[in-house]
């Protein structure tokens, strides 16, 4: 059934409402926030994040962000906690409880048990007069004007604010720890993102071989070399010096230009000053260089000595592209 409403207007209003709520959080980054960051930085245990309903889903995402940026964290569902999962909490852990109202029944039942453990309790809460806010050691205020839901019921704006506050914590911790892209890659080794951060050119080229000919190599033998290695190119080397590169494209252009090429040698058709990259460079840098120069291969060097070829297909296979 199609309703007579302005769908675009409704969507824009929802986004604008949530954007204002997130922007308003800048007024709530206070001394408690700074203290919580410092406590986590010196923590000997883990950060335990708990919540109910939609807040529990936000808690799971915050835990995932913490873990991927160097802050050990565990999600504990508030309902499960009072049925055995309290055993997750250890003496040196810090607990973050997330709730819009701060008066959710499960949260109210859970808090006395959390207080008994003497762990630091941090509230990410949208009601400063709530039971959770009153019992917490530190409060991160995520109060919102209203939900984006037209009935002001479904958690929308409030969960967006919770998520943004969690991200602010994670980024602050990451910055304080000087958590680098290399550190990030340690936690993401299997995906394309991780590969962009740790995979080296040499990792790709080492299995390709190092096709090469001399300047005087006849064209027939040059073509055989290119075909043998299946990289679409060969380096032209004299001693240890790289003189040029011959690609499949150079062969095709030669066939268009010459009726008889039996007297030609590699130096007659090679492209001089070929693009190179050191084997220690990140594979993603090879991709950037290929795109900048509109080419499919790069000659790989090791301390300026020819070492092989990396092909754009190598990057595709590894998911770099």
What domains appear along the chain, each with residue ranges and CATH number? 7-179 (3.40.50.10490), 198-317 (3.10.580.10)
186 Cβ contact list (under 8 Å, min separation 6)? none
Report the pLDDT value the prediction gives residue 83, as an integer from 0 to 100.
87
Residue 74's H or E segment, with its range, is strand 73-77
Distances (CA, A) of 263 to 173, 227, 234, 235, 270: 67, 20, 19, 20, 15
- Locus of tokens 């037209």: 150
Q: Which residues are annotated as a binding site for Zn(2+)?
A: 77
Report the pLDDT value the prediction gives residue 206, as an integer from 0 to 100.
93
Report the pLDDT value the prediction gives residue 68, as an integer from 0 to 100.
86
Residue 270: CA atoms inside 13 Å, Cβ hemisphere, count? 26
- Strand ranges of the sheet holding 94-99, from the earlier edge strand across to the other edge: 73-77, 47-51, 94-99, 120-125, 138-141
Distances (CA, A) of 124 to 29, 110, 113, 121: 12, 15, 18, 10
Distance CA 219, CA 222 (A): 5
Q: Which residues are annotated as a binding site?
A: 77
Structure tokens at 176: 């304080």
Are the CB atoms for 107 and 99 separated by under 8 Å?
Answer: yes
Report the pLDDT value the prediction gives residue 3, as an integer from 0 to 100.
64
- Strand ranges of the sheet holding 276-278, from the earlier edge strand across to the other edge: 276-278, 297-302, 305-311
Distance CA 64, CA 49 (A): 10
**pLDDT 10s per residue in the chain (321 long)?**
556 678 899 999 999 999 999 999 999 999 999 999 999 999 999 999 999 999 999 999 999 999 988 899 999 999 999 888 999 999 999 999 999 999 999 999 999 999 888 899 999 999 999 999 999 999 999 999 999 998 988 999 999 999 999 999 999 999 999 887 666 766 666 666 667 767 899 999 999 999 999 999 999 999 999 999 999 999 999 999 999 999 999 999 999 999 998 899 999 999 999 999 999 999 989 999 999 999 999 999 999 999 999 999 999 988 887
């Amino acid at each position: 059934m199609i309703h007579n409403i302005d769908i675009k207007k409704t969507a824009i209003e929802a986004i604008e409402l949530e954007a204002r709520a997130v922007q308003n959080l800048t007024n709530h980054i206070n001394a408690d926030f700074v203290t919580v960051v410092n406590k986590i930085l010196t923590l000997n245990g883990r950060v335990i994040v708990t919540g109910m309903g939609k807040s529990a889903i936000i808690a799971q995402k915050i835990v995932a962000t913490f873990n991927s940026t160097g802050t050990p964290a565990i999600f504990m569902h508030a309902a499960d906690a009072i049925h055995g999962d309290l055993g997750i909490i250890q003496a040196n852990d810090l607990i973050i409880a997330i709730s819009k109202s701060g008066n959710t029944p499960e949260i109210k039942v859970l808090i006395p048990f959390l207080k008994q453990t003497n762990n630091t309790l941090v509230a990410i809460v949208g009601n400063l007069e709530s039971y959770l806010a009153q019992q917490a050691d530190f409060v991160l205020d995520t109060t919102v004007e209203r939900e984006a839901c037209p009935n002001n019921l479904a958690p929308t704006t409030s969960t967006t604010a919770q998520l943004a506050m969690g991200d602010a914590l994670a980024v602050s911790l990451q910055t304080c720890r000087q958590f680098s892209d290399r550190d990030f890659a340690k936690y993401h080794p299997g995906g394309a993102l991780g590969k962009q951060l740790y995979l080296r050119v040499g990792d790709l080229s080492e299995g390709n071989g190092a096709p090469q000919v001399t300047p005087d190599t006849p064209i027939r033998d040059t073509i055989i070399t290119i075909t043998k290695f299946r990289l679409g190119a060969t380096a032209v080397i004299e001693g240890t010096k790289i003189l040029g590169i011959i690609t499949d494209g150079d062969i095709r252009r030669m066939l268009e230009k010459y009726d008889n090429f039996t007297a030609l040698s590699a130096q007659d058709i090679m492209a001089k000053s070929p693009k190179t990259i050191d084997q220690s460079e990140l594979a993603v840098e090879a991709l950037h260089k290929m795109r900048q120069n509109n080419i499919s291969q790069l000659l790989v060097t090791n301390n300026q000595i020819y070492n092989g070829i990396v092909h754009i297909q190598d990057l595709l296979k590894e998911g770099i592209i």
